[in-house]
Structure 1
């Protein structure tokens, strides 16, 4: 049984920006997850259905598909821009063949990226502009200073950071108001609870949770590594490998049992948990299939009681997952 997604999606605040939750992560439409199954027409249908069902926050980045994802999103929203809260990101540098060339946050690069994103998206302003990863070689004050200039110029509405540490967030917020901090957060990635969530709450910054379904693992669709396509990025993720995979299946089993007694799907239970973490928390599950979209949006109609949340805490405490969130090289790009 799945909950119907047509009930009103809740309004949540990211700083002074209002959005409906959950949002829609668009990354997988253009790269990383099952790349041989890219279907732009279906992805555009997903975006249109999402907007028709009352969703409004679309999340992309200049590095997804090396710009292709922004072009796809731009095409999808061309005739309905007014209904969209459009979020994109800069900072992860890609080479001509898609290779990763590190992180940049220097002022000229910030300006150049914004103009390139506006062009690919076919819009005159970005509602929420994130620094995708923190550049260890550029003071955050310079990066956010350049982003603030974009706000003054009318090219950007609100500013965000992604995977930034508390000290960095504080320094950034001293330069210009930060609307949102985006970080991985789910039933198997609860690290932000220690110090990131308390920091953003103190500063009045909203929290956007990416990979709220554990890169699809928490949906229960993957039982062995062979359920992932050969060219899927997740095959290199520690949590999807060897013993970690088997141990993490126990988490999925726990979620499945609770979902069954609740009369919802595993995905809905996992998303409802993230939604229940506060009115300032906005999960952005990604999907490129209309079939899964309704399931994700239906999570907004699943209410978890205090007793149910306590039970989940007891069964799946922080640190339950086996393995790092990313392989070693990608973990190095996360601001500590």
Structure 2
């Protein structure tokens, strides 16, 4: 396993992170997968209070508790379930964040969260108030560091200017190159870690039936997947090639992969044993589909 510092923090995290949202509802199965991940060198596990209405945090916390001093736990806050359970509303208010961390700590069976992330964000949020909440939680020792999970350049810029975030989680893949326009270089310049999610684009770059994705038509998605497969062959499978693409950008600290089976886990970890993409391969991939850019939230 390879490790890298997460931005300005003192967290040295595995370059393959475990995205816990993909776990099922069987605690025993989850424990087997999570313990194997630790054996393989993964030390960064990402969940959220939103996932399975908190049950994901419970399952993850139960499995990781015996190894708490060996791992970094990341969670997220900001999405408030409606009373009738029909969905959730966005709530970045200070009082809400301060109240919700208590539930996450209890569910995760821990005294602190290594990385607490705002689970979204808009330019119309009370950003200073949100930052105050995270700073207070740091002072209280309930969290070690904080970051945001956002794809919006205008929001990311504000947090860079006004807060002490150490990381930004964002979607990034061959089929979502929007971060390449400005965000990745900006985050790199400010020594902030990038946690790349969605490297396989919902599986469309690997083996899922073709469909439209973002601004790409199904035919374009199919062309991108074919290109990924074309440069995989014996060196890497398609999923590993897609993850290599995300990992190779110098701004990216780790690829956070949604893993639900031992096979997926083993393949993801072996990505780091595969050869890096050559410049010729990257050029070929870029020639297959034009890079997309943000139309909103610029």
Q: When the two structures are superposed, what TM-score results if normalisation uses the length of structure 2?
A: 0.90
- Root-mean-square deviation (Å): 2.5
Q: Aligned with 1:160: secondary structure?
A: strand
1:26 to 6, 10, 20: 20
Q: Distance in 1 between matches of 2:174 and 2:67?
A: 34
2:147 to 160, 184, 205: 160
Moved more, 209-218 or 178-187: 209-218
Residue in 2 aligned with 1:235? Answer: none
Q: Is residue 264 of structure 2 the alignment partner of residue 292 of structure 1?
A: yes
Q: Is residue 241 of structure 2 the alignment partner of residue 269 of structure 1?
A: yes
Shift of 1:188: 0.7
Q: Is the 8 A contact 2:196 2:252 kept in 1?
A: no
Q: Is the 8 A contact 2:82 2:89 kept in 1?
A: no
Q: Is the 8 A contact 1:239 1:248 kept in 2?
A: yes
Q: 1:166 to 1:245 in 2, by over 3 A?
A: closer
Residue in 2 aligned with 1:248? Answer: 221
Residue in 2 aligned with 1:123? Answer: 110
Residue in 2 aligned with 1:91? Answer: 78
Q: Is residue 278 of structure 2 the alignment partner of residue 305 of structure 1?
A: yes
Q: Distance in 2 between matches of 1:294 and 1:143?
A: 38
Q: 1:275 to 1:164 in 2, by over 3 A?
A: closer
Q: Aligned with 2:16: secondary structure?
A: coil
Q: Is residue 57 of structure 2 the alignment partner of residue 70 of structure 1?
A: yes
Q: Distance in 1 between matches of 2:26 and 2:213?
A: 27
Q: Distance in 2 between matches of 1:170 and 1:253?
A: 35
Moved more, 79-88 or 190-199: 190-199
Q: Is the 8 A contact 1:275 1:300 kept in 2?
A: no
The answer for unaligned runs of 5 or more in structure 2 is: none
Aligned length: 296
Q: Distance in 1 between matches of 2:238 and 2:49?
A: 31
Residue in 1 aligned with 2:120? Answer: 133
Q: Aligned with 1:284: secondary structure?
A: strand
Residue in 1 aligned with 2:213? Answer: 239
Q: Aligned with 1:134: secondary structure?
A: coil
Q: Aligned with 1:272: secondary structure?
A: helix
Moved more, 89-98 or 262-271: 89-98
Cα deviation 1:163-216 (Å, max 9, x = unaligned): 153343343234431111111111111111112112212222111111111122
Q: 1:67 to 1:97 in 2, by over 3 A?
A: farther
Q: Distance in 2 between matches of 1:23 and 1:51?
A: 11
Q: Distance in 2 between matches of 1:306 and 1:12?
A: 25
Q: Distance in 1 between matches of 2:200 and 2:85?
A: 26
Higher relative contact order (CA 8 A, sep 6+): 1
Q: 1:285 to 1:97 in 2, by over 3 A?
A: farther
Residue in 2 aligned with 1:228? Answer: none
Q: Distance in 2 between matches of 1:74 and 1:306?
A: 41
Cα deviation 1:74-105 (Å, max 9, x = unaligned): 01101000111110000112124542232111
Q: Aligned with 1:217: secondary structure?
A: coil
Q: Aligned with 2:6: secondary structure?
A: strand
Q: Aligned with 2:225: secondary structure?
A: helix
Residue in 2 aligned with 1:314? Answer: 287
Q: Is the 8 A contact 1:145 1:175 kept in 2?
A: no
Q: Distance in 2 between matches of 1:255 and 1:95?
A: 41
